[in-house]
Amino acid sequence: MVFPSALSALWSAILLTVLLTTAVYSNVVYDDDPLQPVTADETVSVGGTVTLTCRVAESDNSSLQWSNTAQQTLYFGEKRALRDNRIQLLHSTSTELTITIADVQLSDEGEYKCAIFTMPVRTARATVTVLGVPGKPQISGLETPVQEGQKVTLTCTSTGSKPPAKLHWYRGDQELEGHLDVVESNPDDPTYNVSSELTLEVTSSDDNALITCAVDHPSLAPGDKRSEQTLRVLYSPNVQIHPGSNLPREGEKFSLRCTGTSNPEPTSYIWEKKDGELPILAKADGAVLHFPMLNKSDNGVYVCHADNGIGNNQGEYILLVQDPTVMAPSSGVDHAVIGGVVAVIVFILLCLLIVLGRYLIRHKGTYLTHEAKGSDDAPDADTAIINAEGGQSGSEDKKEYFI
């Protein structure tokens, strides 16, 4: 057929045109002089390896040469010119000279030059930027616990970054705004020491909070370098009184326990009864007030004062002694009764299942075994098996109830 081949010829023509256009166009964009070397600027972290590539579009077989910031020749074609084992040849052809510099130092920063010794000599420059890798941040100001309600100023510092690193503060996952970011520099050190301050007014809920200072720098992946410290807050007791039972009944033993959530733990507890003396029988033993035998005359409001040296607070409990005959609060009874009823129902259901199961098997299921076929007629086991395998010797199949 003529039509498809005409079409494919047309496509080829279009494709060729596009290719030619692209080639011409890229030539125009990149260099009009095919002998002009082309390089690229590079950025590398201290200790890293940088690769310097120099290419020409065409070569007249002149050698390419790389030289360093001090104009010293590093490589001339594949010939090493400077004795520095950090610098190695990666690739050398008539159109390309690629070298690597390992374990880069800050002093390696600067302008490198690629030259091709044509007439005239053509050169290209590549700027190598060396990043100073910041040190692990250090948090100071949290050496001692802070008292609730006070302000604390934390400082985070990181040394040796270039360009200056940024520091970020976090309390748990939440970022906090630092202030007074300081960048230190000094004339004979190209790197910077940075610091940031964070002022917090702490509350008891800040106790054990994790404070993080993280470094943000182009030489690091996010989260690479961070320091964490736990904030310790000293706060006065938050007092609660827990009764030994929910049903104080006359004549029974009873106790009240005073808990003071605080940092540090409370060191002293004082028990009082509002509007009166503690009952004679009641014995205070630190956080616990014991009643060996409750009496209605014990009724009243009991107060526990807990002190941890930071401050003291109090909690209250209203004691209302019940008659000895009063039933325990309903919820406990209900649970026991429901539990018992459920247990009985489950037991009955199980019994029914077992009985039903036995009934069904007895009346419907019959089970035929090899032994049943032969053993009853055989004088011994071997004969029984032979009988069973032979099959026909037994006059009829035997039925055996499985249960």
Ligand X SMILES: *[C@@H]1O[C@H](CO)[C@@H](O)[C@H](O)[C@H]1NC(C)=O
Which residues sit at the interface with ligand X, rule CB under 6 A?
Answer: 60-61, 159, 184-186, 189, 192-193, 250-251, 293, 295, 297
Residue 387, classed as helix, strand or coil, is: helix
Q: How far is the CB of 272 from ligand X (least distance, A)?
A: 20
Tokens of 243: 């009764």
Q: How far is CA 14 from the centre of its chain?
A: 56
Kindly tell me which of 189 and 371 has the beta carbon lying closer to ligand X: 189
Kindly tell me which of 251 and 286 has the beta carbon lying closer to ligand X: 251
What sign has the CA pseudo-torsion 384, 387, 390, 396? negative
Q: How far is the CB of 308 from ligand X (least distance, A)?
A: 36
Q: How far is the CB of 299 from ligand X (least distance, A)?
A: 11
Q: How far is the CB of 250 from ligand X (least distance, A)?
A: 5
Kindly tell me which of 251 and 390 has the beta carbon lying closer to ligand X: 251
Kindly tell me which of 8 and 295 has the beta carbon lying closer to ligand X: 295
Kindly tell me which of 250 and 272 has the beta carbon lying closer to ligand X: 250
Backbone angle region of 27, left / alpha / beta, with phi > 0 → left and psi within -120 to 50 → alpha: alpha
Q: How far is the CB of 105 from ligand X (least distance, A)?
A: 16
Q: How far is the CB of 59 from ligand X (least distance, A)?
A: 7
Closest C-alpha to 48, from 150, 134, 167, 131:
131
Tokens of 290: 């014991």
Exposure of 392 by Cβ count < 10 A (0-12 exposed, 13-18 middle, 19+ buried)?
exposed
Cα 96 to Cα 94: distance, rounded to the nearest angstrom = 6
Kindly tell me which of 138 and 240 has the beta carbon lying closer to ligand X: 138
Kindly tell me which of 31 and 189 has the beta carbon lying closer to ligand X: 189
Kindly tell me which of 8 and 185 has the beta carbon lying closer to ligand X: 185
Q: How far is the CB of 300 from ligand X (least distance, A)?
A: 14
Cα 257 to Cα 12: distance, rounded to the nearest angstrom = 94
Geometric angle at alpha carbon 388, from 387 and 390, rounded to 5°: 65
Strand ranges for 244-383 from DSSP E:
254-263, 268-273, 283-285, 288-291, 300-307, 312-319
Q: How far is the CB of 62 from ligand X (least distance, A)?
A: 9
Q: Name residues whose C-beta falls within 8 Å of residue 156's C-beta, 6 or more positions apart in sequence.
A: 137, 138, 139, 140, 167, 169, 178, 195, 196, 197, 198, 213, 227
Q: Amino acid identity of 269?
A: Y
